[in-house]
């Protein structure tokens, strides 16, 4: 009697890496900074960091509010002092002296100028944040660049040697 059987020959398993490396756009940080310079918060939206947009507008809005408030108070005390010098009756007549009106003008002028500088600084910080965030989005942290400790045994005295290797794979 002859027995015939078919046997299936195992096929080798082929594993293919299907992940594609994203190409880097070298102009992305510049574009993000440009967008933030045009409209504050637009660079953060370009970087898909939407949670930063309310912070940008809150900071800039606060700076603009204090600038306008101090400017209004500065002009209020300045106009009152001008009316008083011209011999008229101002809104602070009998309430503040001339020296107090001059001092209040100086204080509110200084606070107004400081508010302006802080607001401009926050605007520049918005642009820098968009640029740096776009750079960090392109930061490559994968297994092709790794830093691993390397332990091996010395053949002469059988003690463990410690080394550090930097491997870059193409």
At residue 139, the pLDDT reads 80
The angle formed by the CA atoms of residues 26, 55 and 131, to the nearest 5 degrees, is 15
> What is the structure's pLDDT at 54?
97
- Read off the DSSP letter of residue 9: P
In a domain, 81, yes or no: yes
Domain hosting 72: range is 29-138
Domain count across the chain = 1
Q: Is residue 11 part of a domain?
A: no
* In a domain? residue 47: yes
Asked whether residue 8 is domain-assigned, the answer is no
The answer to whether residues 122 and 63 touch, using CB atoms and an 8 Å cutoff, is: yes
Reported pTM:
0.69
- Residue 1 in domain: no
| 85 assigned to some structural domain | yes
Q: Is 67 helix (H, G, I), strand (E, B) or coil?
A: helix
Give the pLDDT confidence score for residue 148 in this predicted structure: 62
Residue 121 within any structural domain of the chain: yes
Give the pLDDT confidence score for residue 51 in this predicted structure.
Answer: 96
User: Any idea of the CA torsion for 143, 149, 150, 154, to the nearest 10 degrees?
Assistant: 180
Q: Is residue 62 part of a domain?
A: yes
Question: What does each of the 170 residues of the chain score in pLDDT, given as a tens digit?
Answer: 566 666 677 777 766 766 676 677 777 899 999 999 999 999 999 999 999 999 999 999 999 999 999 999 999 999 999 999 998 898 888 899 999 999 999 999 999 999 999 999 999 999 999 999 999 988 876 666 656 666 777 788 878 777 666 666 65
């Amino acid at each position: 009697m002859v027995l015939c059987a078919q046997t299936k020959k195992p096929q080798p398993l082929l594993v293919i890496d299907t992940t594609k490396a994203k190409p880097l756009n070298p102009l992305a940080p510049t574009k993000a900074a440009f967008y933030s310079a045009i409209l504050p918060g637009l660079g953060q939206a370009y970087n898909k960091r939407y949670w930063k947009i309310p912070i940008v507008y809150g900071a800039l809005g606060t700076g603009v509010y204090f600038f306008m408030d101090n400017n209004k108070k500065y002009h209020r005390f300045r106009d009152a002092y001008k009316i008083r010098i011209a011999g008229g009756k101002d809104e602070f007549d009998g309430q503040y002296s001339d020296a107090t009106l001059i001092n209040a003008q100086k204080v509110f002028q200084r606070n107004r100028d400081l508010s302006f500088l802080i607001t401009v600084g926050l605007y520049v910080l918005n642009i820098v944040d968009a640029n740096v965030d776009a750079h960090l989005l392109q930061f490559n942290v994968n297994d092709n660049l790794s830093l691993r400790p390397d332990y091996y045994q010395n053949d002469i005295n059988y003690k463990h040697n410690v080394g550090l290797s930097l491997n870059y794979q193409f």
